[in-house]
Structures are given as structure tokens and as C-alpha cells.
Chains A and B, each alone.
Chain A
């Protein structure tokens, strides 16, 4: 089983890296790009003995306590069997 965690800056926090990427994208000639926000993606392999409910709980705790800083970031957890 795999837990996928997406960590993104809160909408209220400026993302200078995302802005720089958007600028480059525009220079390359891409049009209609309104905004780019950069985030982090984690793949966590879990033991097959862990139930889906437990996997979600554990991954959520991990995302909250370690992978993200809740002051500046939000996260989303997906479980893939």
C-alpha cells in the first residue's frame, strides 16, 4: 500500500519560486497561465498488513507532524492500494 502526501503553501503565503517559474513559462511562450504554485510530493510505502483506515491516519499524522509546517503549509493525503 502506498500513501501519497501533497504539501502546498497556504494560499495566503507568497510563493516566490512559483512566481519565478511562471515568469519562465511565459518567456517560453506559454499563454493563459494564471498562476503557478510549487509544492512537495511524498510517496510513502506502507506494510501490506496495515489497514486502509490506519494507513490514512498514520499518513495524516506524519504529514501534519513532519512533512508539513501547518503554519505555512496545507497537505492532502491519498491512499493507493
Chain B
């Protein structure tokens, strides 16, 4: 089971993701430079957080033209697993691998804080070992995390159960007060219809050690590794 962590100019959570895969998942992992195009040896690819291309034009807008992105589209089309975290989520939306877009936070601030997210759907490789309704505490660090989509897209997301994480309070109540950035329907993470591509704004890879404030993020990687092991 081999993981790849994509590195764009400006990625800054690549080492965190690498650390979690090698230390907590205990599997081989490579960095994939954004100009590399061969993904044939990987079982799952992580697009990490950061500020690819300095967030110029729009967050994730320029990263989608990197050579590796065509390979990731083909990789995902074959049903392989792709996890986009924070800037990775923004890139997946810009690239059209996930519907909708992420715009400036409602209050304009860059928010660096812990949030609670409720697991809405466990029918994905990334959440299959979690319980629906359980609450994960994970950090966010973004200025453009306000998820938007039109009504037709939203109805589609609901109909196909693609909303995977929603911002909630500690007890799992999805309220406006628990919504840090104004995201539509408190959406913190969604998957594609094939359920093999997931994007989320919170950082599970920064929440894998109690020393850092939370180890809830491990559940996501445990699910991911479990799904890959079951498919092998």
C-alpha cells in the first residue's frame, strides 16, 4: 500500500501528511513533485494544504494547470483514492474533480483554530471506520474556506450523499454559530459521486497526536488504510 503526497510550489502541509502516513499509518510514502506525471506505483494520493502558487488568481486556480493534475484526473477516473486537504480541497474544486468552489470566509479573516465537524456519511473509503454523527476535533487554517455551489449542485450533493463532514458544535449540533466561514449548509468536506475523491477544509493530518491538541484525524487515515487493505 503506497501513498503519494503531491508537492506544489507553496505547499506547506506536505511534511505533516508524509509524517502521518509513515508514522501512524505505517506505510511507504513518497513526495510527488507537481511536474511528475507517473502515479502508477501509488494506491492513494494526498493533495496537501498550503498556498500553492501563492494563492495567486484564486486559491488552487494555478495548481490545477500543473502537469501532475492531468495524471491525478486519470488516477481518480480509475477509482483510485484522492484526498485533498484545505488547499488540496480548493485545487480539487478548481480542477473540476469536486463540484462547487471555496470563496473568501464570511468575516474576511484568515481563521486558524480548532473546529468540530460531524461525520455525515460513512459510506466512503475515508470515513468507513467512523460512526455517522460522531464528532471530530480538527484544526482549520484558511481564508478561503467558504463552500459555495448553486442550488442544483447542492441538491445533487444531498441526493447522492456526497456531504461527508459538516461544521458542528461539540455535541454534533449543526448550527450557524458552529460555522466558522459561512460555508453553505455548514459543509466542511464533500466527496465525488464515485466516493473515491474527498476534499475537506479541516486538517486531519495536523490532528493525529494528542500532544498537538487532538488525535481525531487519525480516524480518517485509519479508514483510508483499512479501505485500501480490504481492496488489496
Judge whether B108 and A16 touch: CB under 8 Å: yes
Chain A, 35-69, CB within 8 A of any chain B CB: 66-67, 69
Structural contact, A16 and B104, CB atoms closer than 8 A? yes
CA distance A13 to B104 in the complex (A): 11
A25 at the interface (CB under 8 A from B): no
C-alpha spacing A72/B94, complex, angstroms: 11
A70 to B, closest residue via Cβ: B101
Residues in B with CB closer than 8 Å to A67 are 57
The answer to whether B103 touches A13 (Cβ under 8 A) is yes
Q: Report, as a range, how many residues of chain B touch the other chain.
A: 10 to 19
- B58 contacts A69, C-beta separation under 8 Å: yes
Contact A14 B101 (CB under 8 A): no
Flag whether A71 is at the interface (Cβ < 8 A). Answer: yes
Closest to B106 in A: A16
Q: Is A12 interfacial (CB 8 A cutoff)?
A: yes
- Chain B, residues 64-85, CB within 8 Å of chain A (1/0): the string is 0100000000000000000000
Closest to A42 in B: B57
- B1 at the A interface (CB under 8 A): no
State the interface size on chain A (CB cutoff 8 A). 12
Residue of B with least CB distance to A65: B65
Q: A13-B103, A14-B182 are in contact. Are A71 and B108 (CB under 8 A)?
A: no
Interface string of A15-33 (1 = CB under 8 A from B): 0110010000000000000
- Contact assessment for B57 and A71 in the assembled complex, using a CB-CB cutoff below 8 Å: no
Q: How far is the CA of A41 from the CA of B113 in the complex (A)?
A: 33
In the bound complex, CA of A71 to CA of B154 (Å): 13
Shortest distance in angstroms between A10's beta carbon and chain B's nearest beta carbon? 9
Q: Does B61 contact A (CB under 8 A)?
A: yes
Option from A14, A17, A69 in Cβ contact (under 8 Å) with B94: A69
A33–B103 Cα distance when bound, in Å, is: 24
Given contacts A71-B100, A71-B101, A72-B103, A13 and B148 within 8 Å (CB-CB): yes
Given A12-B150, A13-B148, A69–B108 Cβ distance below 8 Å? no
- 5 examples of A-B residue contacts, CB within 8 angstroms: A14-B182, A17-B104, A69-B94, A71-B93, A71-B150
What are the 3 A-B residue pairs with the smallest beta carbon separation, nearest first?
A71-B101, A72-B101, A16-B108
Q: Measuring CB to CB, which residues of chain B are less than 8 angstroms from any residue of chain A? A: 57-58, 61, 65, 93-94, 99-101, 103-108, 148-150, 182
